[in-house]
Amino acid sequence: EAQVTQNPRYLITVTGKKLTVTCSQNMNHEYMSWYRQDPGLGLRQIYYSMNVEVTDKGDVPEGYKVSRKEKRNFPLILESPSPNQTSLYFCASSLSGQGYQPQHFGDGTRLSIL
């Protein structure tokens, strides 16, 4: 089954404790992206990757890191999480970097930073 898999689905942690949210897709997609969803703000892009070893900032990259060492994986790293990063996070992928390609979303990761 074609899917985008995120782990963990839920995480409660404390300020400053490094964490990684994993994202994996099995569709051989070149493009992957991370979004955060906050009430009243919709989804905002954090980082994206056009292909292996190619990543770039989205609209809200501060406090986050990403890497793309393999085509299928695109982890999101919070080196020193803070309470303002409490949010619902989505990973998405699509075939290429062209705007007409719809994106496939994971089921989300709900992070709570205390």
Partner 1 sequence: AQSVTQLDSQVPVFEEAPVELRCNYSSSVSVYLFWYVQYPNQGLQLLLKYLSGSTLVKGINGFEAEFNKSQTSFHLRKPSVHISDTAEYFCAVSESNFGNEKLTFGTGTRLTIIP
CA-nearest of 2, 23, 10, 99 to 67 is 23
Stretch that binds partner 1, among 11-19, 20-28, 30-38, 64-72 (CB under 8 A): 30-38
- Does 42 bind partner 1 (CB under 8 A)? Our answer is yes
- Does 24 bind partner 1 (CB under 8 A)? Our answer is no
In the range 71-90, which residues lie near partner 1 by CB under 8 A?
Answer: 90
Candidates 11, 27, 43, 77; binder of partner 1 (CB under 8 A) is 43
Q: Under 8 Å CB-to-CB from 87, ≥6 apart: which residues?
A: 36, 37, 38, 110, 111
Which CB atom, from 14 or from 41, has the smaller least distance to partner 1?
41
Dihedral of alpha carbons 55, 61, 65, 66, sign: negative
